[in-house]
Amino acid sequence: MGARGGALGPARRRGRGAPSGRERGVLDPGRRRVREPARPGGRRRVFGAPAAGAAAAALVAVIVVNAPPPDAEAADGALVPIASVFAMLEAENDAVRELWTTSIVGAGTARGLAFDKDWREPGVDAGPLPALFLRETAESLRRNPAPLYLFLGSDFPVNDANKFSGAQQAYFAAIEQTGNPQFFLDEDIQMYSAMFADIAVAEPCVTCHNNDPESPKTDWKLGDLMGATTWSYPNPEVPMPEALALLGALRQAVRDAYEAYLAKAATFANPPAVGENWPADGYAVPSADAFMREVELRASAGTMRALLGFGRPAE
């Protein structure tokens, strides 16, 4: 879902070198998302039976909300590798991005909603493109006290600020060769980082990049490697309460990004209805609560498996 695309829908305008073997680490290369055609407002069976997904979502929500402060000492003193935390956060981020791209941008465009790279400009009746929704999420994370950072980069970005350089380019080349996530210490910022492949999984990603006049590449196809997301954090290991706090920070950042869209949509000349309905149901978008419930339903079974895995001793 590459780095910043052009416009989708009729926006209405009113008035460091190659990584060494020591540095390079492979996270779980087997993370896959099982997808069926989605009908927003209905329930997609992403992780098995809907009831099981709902139960996992409710349990993860309770765990995250009741997590101790990040500096609280874990009961057994166990530490979780930050690479494992990054993998959990990336899986949640994948679920969010697919939901936004297919169920809001794709379905919304068909209903007359618009999405544009200039969505924040006054008089532009549009929401953020998929890459810009991720940017909103990343900006919210930056405002969180936890020093967790998220970056979307590409070899062919529309915005030059998203172009890989130096060591980032070398790690991305490793992803191109192997398909595996890369874990490394970023010497430039002195943070532990993980880079994950960003695959074109939805037609709106391909369309907006191919149609943008500023795009350096206009022949993207579904399944192409469009770029990579990079997570960074200062500690190589964290106690469980800190891992839960980072998960909570990501979910809050996603909510902040979606609420920013709702705030802009309220200013449209023809604002969509906001509530329980989705674009698949008509000229409507879900409330922030409804959007986050769907995020949690889709992501939480995988997140619960990750959390349970954190408690297992290393083999």
The arithmetic mean of pLDDT across residues 239-252, rounded, is 95
- pTM here? 0.78
Residue keyed to tokens 């408690």: 311
Quote the CA–CA distance of 106 and 204 in Å, as a whole number: 6
At which residue do the structure tokens 């980072």 appear?
246
Domain ranges of the chain: 12-28+48-310
Tokens of 166: 């130096």
Average pLDDT over residues 213-239: 89
- pLDDT (tens digit, 9 = 90+) per residue, 185-195? 998 889 999 99
Residues in the chain: 315
C-alpha 49/C-alpha 154 separation (Å) is 36
Tens digit of each residue's pLDDT (9 = 90 or more) over 49-107: 344 445 444 545 545 555 554 444 444 468 999 999 999 999 999 999 999 999 999 99
> By mean pLDDT, which of 136-140, 212-216, 228-232, 271-275 is the weakest?
212-216
Neighbour-count burial of 234, counting CB atoms closer than 10 A to its CB (0-12 exposed, 13-18 middle, 19+ buried):
middle
Higher pLDDT, 77 or 280: 280
